[in-house]
Structure 1
Amino acid sequence: MVAPSFSIECDPAGPFLHLSLVGDWNRVIADRFATEVAGGIRGMIAAGALPGTFLTLIDMSRKNILPQDIATDMARMLRPDSPSRRIAFVVSGSLHLLQARRLCESEGRRCFPTEEAARQWLFAD
């Protein structure tokens, strides 16, 4: 079992948001993640980043499958009116891919096997 953790890197100039999720998540870590992501987004907007223009990379390659209730909460965070124009998911394995695809049902969201491929797509304009 891998301890649950995450990292959040915000670059308002990009505007780029890089989220890394690791391990076995429970409600406590999921709630903390949601709170910290919201704070990061508010900080990016306060620094001049425009909502609707963010490029977001979510690295789930070292994350175990999300429990259903947490996956539902994650889907709410990634709703079509989120501040992100594009969201790229880095996943490992077929189960991750299946779960991430449920989060990618909106335009501007895709899954990738590597961070390099995800970044190429995100910044390809």
Structure 2
Amino acid sequence: MAPPTFHIEADAPGEFLKLTLTGDWDAEITARFAAEVGATLRRMVTEGTRHGQLRTLIDMKRKNVVPQTVAAEFAKMVRPDSPSKRIALVFSGALHRMQAKRIADERCALFESVEEARAWLFAD
């Protein structure tokens, strides 16, 4: 079982954000993740990322299904006023797919590989 971790890759000039999530998450790591993503987004905007133009890739292939309370907190990050133009969610397994679909909106698409997700994000 992988420990709960996350990695944030931010490219402000390229208007691209990649979030890689692994392991079993609880409320504590979810709160830490939300705070760090918020700080990253604020920095990206000051470095030139335009609001509403960000392409976000969330790689959850190695992240386990989370409790409903944690999923609800995570869903707040994929909200209509976020700076993302498109959000690609990479998942593995049927349960994971169902959980990813619950947080998705019209800007989101689900993928089984990072390569497919990246291609969709940049296909204008």
Q: Same fold (TM over 0.5)?
A: yes
Higher mean alpha-carbon deviation, 32-41 vs 66-75, is at 66-75
Query: Which residue of the partner structure matches residue 31 of structure 1?
Result: 31
Q: How many angstroms does 1:12 deviate by?
A: 0.3
Give the Å deviation of 1:108: 1.3
Is 1:100 paired with 2:89?
Answer: no
The alpha-carbon deviation at position 91 of structure 1 amounts to 0.2
Q: Which residue of 2 aligns with 1:52?
A: 52
Matched, 1:89 2:86: no
Q: Which runs of 4+ in 1 moved over 4 A?
A: none
Match in the other structure for 1:110? 109
Q: What are structure 1's unaligned runs of at least 5 residues?
A: none
Corresponding residue for residue 122 of structure 2: 123
- 1:103 CA drift (Å): 1.2
The Cα shift of 1:20 comes to 0.3
Q: Partners of 1:14 and 1:66 in 2: how far apart?
A: 31
The alignment's C-alpha RMSD in Å is 0.7
Q: Which runs of 5+ in 2 are unaligned?
A: none
| 1:77 CA displacement | 1.0
Residue identity in the other structure for 1:13: P
The superposition leaves residues 56-87 of structure 1 with CA deviations (integer Å, 9 ceiling, x where unpaired) of: 00000000001111110111110111100000
Identical pairs, percent: 52
d(CA) in 2 for partners of 1:66, 1:55: 24
Q: 2:8 is matched by which residue type in structure 1? A: I
Cα deviations by residue, 1:35-55 (Å, 9 ceiling, x for unpaired) = 000000000001011111000
Q: CA shift at 1:101, angstroms?
A: 0.5
Q: What is the DSSP-based 3-state SS (H/G/I as helix, E as strand, rest coil) of the residue aligned with 1:77?
A: coil
What is the rounded CA distance, in whole Å, between the counterparts of 2:31 and 2:73 in structure 1? 9
